[in-house]
């Protein structure tokens, strides 16, 4: 897989990845990591856990990949990938996968999930591993994006009757779903959570799921 090291892109094979992960008690993947702030902050606070950020965009991830390089943070890695094209080296690797404030096709794949895509998402988790998704949008605030992606209107019944059954079909068990208000974003250590916490009022949903056997 291609990994972002400072401003450079390097190749990392499965053997090198296994070596990097050895000795850590837990592996956490942040899919759609953006600039990688969550990975950087979490890796500094939890030295026994290895954090991997994945995003489509090298340039965005270079922000915190550079900080990790400068500060010699060894338990953080940034890989190029997407929900459509996850690095195969990461199969059955994660104890936790986080998706925090997705946008674009990542949001679309969560709000209008297909069993095949949910299974692909589950493929990077170990059995019993945990998937946490924090998301929300409002067609009034993001009209063009909601329209471009043809996003359904979000409400409790749509989530209960359409979204969650697809995650169950795709191999997950739902632990809990919560509806939060934007103030809850204040505790989330990412760049977009900080931006949206100061923005307009919007419903935020949080799904917690585990990968079944
Ligand atoms: C609103 S940003 C949130 C970034 C970060 N999680 C945060 O909270 O600051 C959404 C991110 O999703 C990424 N993204 C969009 N489509 C994606 C896809 N199909 N697979 C993976 N990431 C995607 C974008 O590149 C962007 O970095």
What's the pLDDT at 44? Answer: 98
- In a shared domain, residues 69 and 11: yes
- In a shared domain, residues 157 and 66: no
Residue nearest atom 11 in ligand 1 by C-alpha distance: 32
Residue nearest atom 14 in ligand 1 by C-alpha distance: 32
Residue 139 has pLDDT above 70, yes or no: no
- In a shared domain, residues 134 and 198: yes
- In a shared domain, residues 103 and 70: no
What's the pLDDT at 176? Answer: 96
Q: 18 lies in which domain range?
A: 1-83
Atom of ligand 1 nearest to the CA of 195: 9
- In a shared domain, residues 173 and 138: yes
Residue 2 has pLDDT above 90, yes or no: yes
Q: What is the C-alpha to C-alpha distance for residues 10 and 187, in angstroms, rounded to an integer?
A: 33
Task: Please say whether the beta carbons of 32 and 100 come within 8 A.
Answer: yes
What is the mean predicted confidence (pLDDT) over 125-138?
Answer: 93
Task: Please say whether the beta carbons of 6 and 69 come within 8 A.
Answer: yes
- In a shared domain, residues 186 and 158: yes
- In a shared domain, residues 63 and 96: no
- Lowest mean pLDDT of 36-45, 147-156, 201-210, name the range: 147-156
- In a shared domain, residues 113 and 60: no
Q: Which of 175, 184, 111, 96 is nearest to 142 (CA)?
A: 111
Q: Do strands 125-135 and 204-211 pair parallel, antiparallel, or not at all (unpaired)? A: antiparallel
Q: Which of 50, 83, 116 is the last residue of a domain?
A: 83
Q: How many C-beta neighbours within 10 Å does residue 120 have?
A: 16
Q: How far is the CA of 30 from the centre of ligand 1 (A)?
A: 10
- In a shared domain, residues 122 and 200: yes
**Per-residue pLDDT tens over the stretch 165-176:** 999 999 999 999
Residue nearest atom 26 in ligand 1 by C-alpha distance: 34
Q: Which of 65, 83, 101 is the last residue of a domain?
A: 83
What's the pLDDT at 196? Answer: 87
Positive or negative torsion for Cα 182, 191, 111, 176: negative
- In a shared domain, residues 76 and 100: no
* Model ipTM value: 0.99
Q: Who lines ligand 1 at CB under 6 A?
A: 31-34, 55-57, 60, 82-84, 100-106, 190-193
- Total domains in the chain come to 2
Mean pLDDT in the chain? Answer: 93
- In a shared domain, residues 135 and 43: no
DSSP string for residues in the chain: -EEEETTEEEE--HHHHHHHHTT-SEEEEEET-TT-HHHHHHHHH-TTEEEEEEES-HHHHHHHHHHHHHTT-TTEEEEE--SSS--GGGTT-EEEEEEES--HHHHHHHHS--HHHHHHHHTTEEEEEEEEEEE---TTTSHHHHHHTTPPPP-HHHIIIIIHHHHHHTTEEEEEEEEE-GGGGGGS-SHHHHHHHTS----EEEEEEEE--
CB-hemisphere CA count at 13 Å for 119? Answer: 5
CATH code, domain carrying 56: 3.40.50.150
């Amino acid at each position: 897989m291609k990994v972002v090291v400072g401003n450079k892109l390097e190749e990392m094979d499965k053997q090198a990845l296994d070596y990097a992960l050895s000795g850590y008690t837990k592996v956490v993947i942040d899919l759609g990591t953006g600039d990688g702030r969550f990975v950087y902050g979490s890796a500094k606070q939890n030295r026994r856990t290895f954090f991997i950020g994945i995003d489509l965009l090298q340039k965005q991830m270079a922000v915190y990949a550079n900080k990790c390089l400068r500060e010699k943070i060894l338990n953080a890695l940034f890989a190029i990938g997407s929900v459509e094209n996850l690095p195969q080296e990461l199969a059955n690797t994660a104890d936790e996968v986080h998706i925090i404030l997705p946008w674009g096709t990542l949001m679309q794949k969560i709000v209008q999930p297909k069993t095949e895509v949910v299974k692909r998402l589950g493929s990077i988790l170990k059995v019993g591993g945990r998937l946490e998704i924090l998301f929300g949008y409002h067609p009034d605030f993001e009209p063009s994006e909601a329209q471009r992606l043809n996003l359904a209107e979000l409400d409790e019944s749509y989530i209960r009757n359409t979204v969650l059954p697809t995650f169950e079909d795709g191999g997950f068990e739902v632990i809990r779903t919560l509806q939060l208000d934007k103030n809850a974003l204040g505790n989330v250590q990412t760049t977009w959570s900080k931006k949206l916490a100061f923005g307009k009022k919007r419903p935020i949903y949080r799904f917690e799921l585990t990968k079944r056997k």
